[in-house]
Amino acid sequence: MDGLQLLKQLATESIKLVFFDPQYQGSLGKLKYGRNCRLKARRKLPQMRDVLISEFLKEIERVLQPSGHLMFWIDKYILCNDIKELMKGINLQLVDLITWHKGKMGMGYRTRRTCEYLVIFQKPPIRAKGIWKFHNVPDVWSEKITGKNHTHAKPIGLQKRLIETVTNESDIVVDPTSGGYSVLTSANEVRRNFLGCDLLG
């Protein structure tokens, strides 16, 4: 299912937490390292132009409850170049950033990639007290993925910790671009409900 259509079916201000991990078209233009098999796998995924990512963000803003959170996965190119432009006109405030150290060396033309970034946005009113339950989440999280089932697999442990931190049991966690469904696994393990989809099933 198309994730944008899923979001449009959700009631306004009905969700506490959304994870969003789009496939950035622009990033692939910078990843010209030759004929790497992982890069080929990424190119097979449906690519998202910035205008489509912005449409997703508008719908995410709409469905988030006041003081709800968006966990937005990005790479270093988006972090340095595009994040402000993507968030233009979106009424969500950046409140934190977590660097995920993958525990392995990736590709790179100059420096080798070992990290991705999770930018944490909150819908106003901006609050931590009574909303953010745990205060021992490090801003650099090391977790190696085992049994990888998707080219964009994400860390179950980190996602579980964040789900526990900003939601309660039986709350709904949404992931409109689910990929390998790591958010589903994370939500199930901490007894949260899940809504998500992906174009590739």
pLDDT-wise least confident of 10-19, 20-29, 126-135: 20-29
**How far apart, in whole angstroms, are the C-alpha atoms of residue 85 and residue 152?**
23
Q: SS3 for 79?
A: helix
pLDDT digits (tens, 9 = 90+) for 72-129: 999 888 888 889 999 999 999 999 999 999 988 776 667 888 999 999 999 999 999 9
Q: pTM for this structure?
A: 0.88
Give the CATH architecture of domain 3-196. 3-Layer(aba) Sandwich (3.40)
Ordered by start, the domain boundaries in the chain are 3-196
Query: For 36-45, what is the mean pLDDT?
Result: 52
